[in-house]
Amino acid sequence: MSTLTHDTGPGTVLSEPIPHHSFPWRALAPVALTAALALFPSPEGLPQHAWYFFAIFAGVVLGLMLEPLPGGAIGLIGVTLVAALAPWVLYAPQELAKPGFKVPNAALAWALSGFANSTVWLIFGAFMFAMGYEKTGLGRRIALQLVRLMGRRTLTLGYAVVLADTVLAPFTPSNTARSGGTIYPVIRNLPALYDSKPNDPSARRMGSYLMWVAIAGTCVTSSMFLTAMAPNLLALEMVKKTAKLDLGWTQWFVAFLPVALILLILVPLLTYWLYPPEVKSGDEVPRWAAGELDKMGGMSGREYLLAALVVLALAMWVFGGAAINATTAALVVVSLMLLTSIFRWDDMLANKSAWNTLAWFATLVALADGLSRVGFVKWFATAVATHLDGFSPVMAMVALILVFFFTHYMFASITAHTTAMLPVLLAVGSTIPGMNMPQFALSLGLTLGLMGILTPYATGPSPVYYGSGFLPASDYWRLGAIFGVLYIAVFLLVGLPWMAMTG
Structural domain range at position 345: 118-230+249-351
Count of structural domains, the chain? 3
**Mean pLDDT for all residues in the chain:** 85
Please state, in angstroms and rounded to a whole number, the distance separating the CA atoms of residues 347 and 355. 12
Residue 54 inside a domain? The answer is: yes
The mean pLDDT value for 135-162 works out to 84
Question: For the segment 66-115, what is each residue's pLDDT rounded down to a tens digit?
Answer: 778 887 888 899 999 999 999 999 999 988 988 888 999 999 999 999 89
Residues 6+ apart with CB under 8 A from 132: 138, 185, 306, 309, 337, 342, 343
Residue 253 inside a domain? The answer is: yes
Residues 6+ apart with CB under 8 A from 413: 117, 119, 365, 368, 459
Specify the length of the chain in residues: 503
Residues 6+ apart with CB under 8 A from 72: 356, 357, 358, 359, 360, 363
User: Do 203 and 162 lie in a common domain?
Assistant: yes
pTM over 0.85: no
* Sequence-separated contacts (24+) of 490-495 with Cβ below 8 Å: 490/259, 490/262, 490/263, 491/259, 491/401, 491/443, 491/446, 491/447, 491/450, 492/398, 492/401, 494/258, 494/259, 494/262, 495/255, 495/256, 495/258, 495/259, 495/443, 495/446
Residue 58 has pLDDT above 60, yes or no: yes
The answer to whether the CB of 165 falls within 8 A of the CB of 183 is yes
User: Do 97 and 189 lie in a common domain?
Assistant: no
Residue 5 inside a domain? The answer is: no
Q: What's the pLDDT score for residue 23? A: 55
The answer to whether the CB of 405 falls within 8 A of the CB of 447 is yes
Of 16 and 376, the one with more pLDDT: 376
Question: For the segment 254-274, what is each residue's pLDDT rounded down to a tens digit?
Answer: 999 999 999 999 999 999 999
Helices (H), 67-199: 71-84, 86-89, 93-96, 103-112, 118-136, 138-150, 154-168, 175, 184-187, 190-193
Question: For the segment 162-171, what is each residue's pLDDT rounded down to a tens digit?
Answer: 988 888 888 7
| N- to C-terminal Cα separation, the chain | 53
Residue 11 inside a domain? The answer is: no
Question: For the segment 194-229, what is each residue's pLDDT rounded down to a tens digit?
Answer: 889 999 999 999 999 999 999 999 999 999 988 788
Please state, in angstroms and rounded to a whole number, the distance separating the CA atoms of residues 409 and 117. 19
Chain CA centroid to CA 330, Å: 17
The answer to whether the CB of 309 falls within 8 A of the CB of 335 is no
Of 159, 170, 257, nearest in space to 213 by CA: 159
Among 289, 323, 351, residue at a domain's last position: 351
Residue 98 inside a domain? The answer is: yes
Among 64, 95, 115, residue at a domain's last position: 115
User: Do 302 and 365 lie in a common domain?
Assistant: no
Which value, in Å, is the radius of gyration of the alpha carbons in the chain?
23
Q: What's the pLDDT score for residue 14? A: 33
Residue 104 inside a domain? The answer is: yes
Please state, in angstroms and rounded to a whole number, the distance separating the CA atoms of residues 102 and 108. 10
User: Do 105 and 135 lie in a common domain?
Assistant: no
User: Do 323 and 377 lie in a common domain?
Assistant: no
User: Do 197 and 301 lie in a common domain?
Assistant: yes
| pLDDT-based confidence at residue 180 (cuts at 50, 70, 90) | confident
Question: For the segment 376-399, what is each residue's pLDDT rounded down to a tens digit?
Answer: 878 877 787 777 777 889 999 999
Residue 10 has pLDDT above 70, yes or no: no
Q: How many CB atoms lie within 10 A of CB 71?
A: 27
User: Do 281 and 399 lie in a common domain?
Assistant: no
User: Do 376 and 298 lie in a common domain?
Assistant: no
User: Do 190 and 296 lie in a common domain?
Assistant: yes
User: Do 321 and 406 lie in a common domain?
Assistant: no
Residue 314 inside a domain? The answer is: yes
Residue 180 inside a domain? The answer is: yes
User: Do 127 and 67 lie in a common domain?
Assistant: no
Please state, in angstroms and rounded to a whole number, the distance separating the CA atoms of residues 70 and 55. 20
User: Do 203 and 336 lie in a common domain?
Assistant: yes
Q: How many CB atoms lie within 10 A of CB 388?
A: 17
Among 67, 82, 115, residue at a domain's last position: 115
Of 205, 223, 265, 268, nearest in space to 4 by CA: 205
